[in-house]
Amino acid sequence: MSYRAIMEAMNELRALIERHCVSTRFETAIPRVTLLRSCTQTGPARVLYEPLFCVVAQGRKQVMVGDKMLIYDTAKYLVVSVDLPASGSILDASATEPYLAFSMRLDRGALASLLLELASIEDDGAPSAGMAVSPIDAELLDPVVRLLRLLDRPRDLAILSPLIEREILYRLLTGAQGRMLRQIALSDSRLSCISRAIDWIKHNYSETMRVEALAEIAGMSGSSFHRHFKAVTSMSPLQFQKQIRLQEARRLLLVQRADAGSIGFAVGYESQSQFSREYSRLFGEPPARDAARLRDLSALDPQRLSQPV
């Protein structure tokens, strides 16, 4: 496929998203596929990214995870391999040229099944990042476009979408981020070990955390666990837990309308002043003021607060 053909495919992808995604976020009839649209640039929005693959059809976005910054646009695709708290900002968007993106949540079982049919590849044990961008090529872009075409042919969707999704996963596994994705599918890989520790933090964020216990969950020595955790998340385990706590506090403030002190206690803080200080540092405003602003934003566009890619 020539450069001209690639641009034509990207133009078709843009047209498909514009036609089907008329609001901020559209959960399509294709399993795990979401379309996103924004007519305005956005400030940093802190959300929890899940394992996914994203292609931008128009516009540009910046993501900060820990101390690492990634920028992706129509020339690059994004892959996230583990649950990561991150901050995303849409850099290029307008009413005439909105930010448009395709997102597909990654099915670990499908990756594992496909990996069994590929040549056996050993995990070399080297740390692997949990989020990365790479240049997009024709072989990957083409099945993405064909998958979205099925939205206009619903009778074909149930039969053909699994086949095209499998093709996309194959291209990802054999592409620039293949090593990262192979580690998702391998239960004994370093990435899978760190993912087990991340899962524990997500479900026990309010508890006192012992890093030594997390290392045991991951099946690693303390020093190896620290090194791999930082490589995957760009954060220390304690920094990761703090972000999970504060993001959960923000969600609770929005849905429960409880006072900040009780919310801080619920997510694991013993000091209200420490909770307010760390919340303000992460989100830019004290808890009550930030929650009021988010309610106003949610009233205008209920889907914007959950926009991850």
Query: Can you give the pTM of this predicted structure?
Result: 0.88
Beta carbons within 8 Å of 289's beta carbon, 6+ residues apart: none
Domains annotated for the chain, with CATH where assigned, are: 3-185 (2.60.120.10)
Please tell me the number of Cα atoms within 13 Å of 98 on its side-chain side.
Answer: 18
Q: What is the pLDDT along the chain (309 residues), one digit of tens a residue?
A: 567 878 899 999 999 999 999 999 999 999 999 999 999 999 888 899 999 999 999 999 999 998 899 999 999 999 999 999 999 999 999 999 999 999 999 999 899 889 888 865 555 556 578 999 999 999 999 999 999 999 999 999 999 999 999 999 999 999 999 888 888 877 778 888 999 999 999 999 999 999 999 999 999 999 999 999 999 999 999 999 999 999 999 999 888 877 888 999 999 999 999 999 999 999 999 998 998 888 877 665 555 555 556
Element of type H or E holding 243: helix 237-256
Which residue from 168, 164, 159 is spatially nearest to 52, judged by alpha carbons? 168
Q: Hunting for tokens 């920028």 — which residue is that?
A: 71
**What is residue 91's three-state secondary structure?**
strand
Dihedral over Cα of 129, 133, 139, 145: its sign:
positive
d(CA 84, CA 191): 13
| Cα–Cα distance list, 181 to 63, 178, 185 (Å) | 20, 5, 7
Q: What is the DSSP string of 1-69?
A: --HHHHHHHHHHHHHHHHHH--SSEEE-SSTTEEEEEESS----EEEEE-SEEEEEEESEEEEEETTEE
List, in sequence order, every beta strand (DSSP E) within 106-225.
131-135
Q: Look up residue 228 and give its two tokens.
A: 């791999």
d(CA 260, CA 73): 38
